Structure 1
Amino acid sequence: MGVAETDASTFWQPIDQYVAPVPDKIGTSDVAHVEALTDAMRLVDDKHGGGACRDAIAAQVRWSQQLLTTQMAEVTRKRLLIALADLHVVAGWSSFDLGMHTVAASYFKRALDLSRAGDNWALTATVLYTMARLHLHIGMPGVGLRFLQLGQIAAQSSGSPFMVSLICVNEAWAHAMMDNRRQMEQSLVRAADELHAADDNQPRRWPRFYGQGELHAMTGTAQSALPSADDALLDSARQNLEHSFTERGDEHPRSSALALPILALTDLRLGNIDAGLDRAGRALSAARQINSARIVDRLTPLANHLGAVATTGALDIQAGINALQGAS
């Protein structure tokens, strides 16, 4: 059989844009299917970035939300509400990761409504945390802090010290961005205390990923974000970020890729030029491998500082960052 030459437009257009029908009646096994797909998509998003799975997750949202129109027992309906809320969180997070901030906010808003309808405090706190992270990323720490304060109420209502700690360490980041050192330090102390008091054997679905590695990473991120940080605080930030890589290992490549530019910049600010350039090169390499606009955005402060270092190696990495950002 011969192969004819064809234009790419012959194949890139979808064959159909229909949404498959849902059953007239569902049970817990149908909801478990949604939960399993959500977990699988979350893992792909975490490992490969939002660009690897966002559209697949959005398609799953379009199909799954139809399940609300079917017949089911009340216990199934409540579980479905929670499952759909979690699916919307993953859809929003992958959209956020691609820089689709308005779309992400819409998914998070729907997730918030669903989590409240499902009466799940831990998931409600998670949604408010994601909304806060979006605003911290785009440079609106005051708005982000307000979402975190609401999230703190939900976290405490959930009875999960893991969730309370997660909210606290992100509150510290918001305070740091606004140069509120005392509030930042208070939030970091409470975050560490809450995590220390948490029971690792406690069953939890949210926040599933949070532990010592994330606490170290976010502590270092907050400390390095303080505009008035002195060398002692920056050195503490460096140590916390280094600990985060030891704690996490290779389990969360995107999280590590997000922390690398901050660690590289912290090294450079401390005058550790060789270590800073080595980590800056690794940060650029990681950004090329993971389909995440957030990682690319994180490179901007690093690129600006590399220009001040002005060695050949620094300028080469800066050029690589500029090329990557220009292509994204």
Structure 2
Amino acid sequence: MKYSGRGGGTTWGLVGWCAGILLLLVGMPLAARGRLPETLATHWSGSGEADSSMSLWAAALFPALLWAVLVAGLAVASRHTGPQSRGPVRGWTAVTLAAGGVFLVGVQASVTRANLDRSDWREAGSVTGGVVATVVVAAAAGALAWLATRRSPAAPGRAAGGPSMDLPEGQRLVWFSRTSNPWLQLTSAVTGLVALAAVVAAMGGLAETIPALTLVVPLVLASVLVLSCASVQARVGEEGLRVSFGPLGWPARRWALQDIEVARVEHRTPAQVGGWGYRLSGLGTTVMLRRGECLVVRVKGKDFAVSVDDAERGAALLNSLGAKSPR
């Protein structure tokens, strides 16, 4: 079994997420300071009445400090983890950052909204509904992060010298490859953070709900569409070729071995296929995430290409498996 891929774009995505959450935590109460009392209610009793407070600056900086400590701790833990457990650590790091960031931002929005247009912090409204909704959304964000960071297991590969290879009897060979485009991931992250800021502004009472939602819907759609085209995974096995998109591996396209006429490797550039992402051109369909070698398969007289690393080995395995498969 062979696995290859690139993970540099993930790092930039995490950096953008951490920076965006930090800006939201600090900027939210400061943006509404003209409508907030000098001292904000920051704690509520079981009956729903405010019983503790902080100054405006302390209320803005305290959750940001918690976030900074959390991020720093996760960075140190990840740095000092051995290679054997690095995959699970990355998964839990993403879960913690996703759930923790959403939770802190949601709580900050609830606190800001409860204090909005109050002359004294003791008159602050309840935060129960906002906190409950925040916990639910944070749990969902953590679950999505866990699914997005799952990886197929890696194992040593077997060298191939051309478009075909000898298949040992009684053994099953599988080839994996993954590629991502950090610029597309960054674009998706920025668009998503702007949508999150609009939602938080509506939750905190800093913007009208209907106009905010009108802005959020197209931004979320754009973020999801760009993210789904920012990374690709290719898998070759006895069932054929499977190409999946995005961090969740969905959607996906599949071709059975008996349907693939031939597999080859071509060098393609964005200029040849008309840009980045999922492109249709005179060369057929191309998933272009980086210039260079692409795995190309011909099915029913049409070409499908995907820019992944180690494309020659994938093409060799596809051709060899196809030669043994009944047409």
TM-score (norm 2): 0.29
Larger Rg: 2
More strand by share: 2
More helix by share: 1
TM-score (norm 1): 0.29
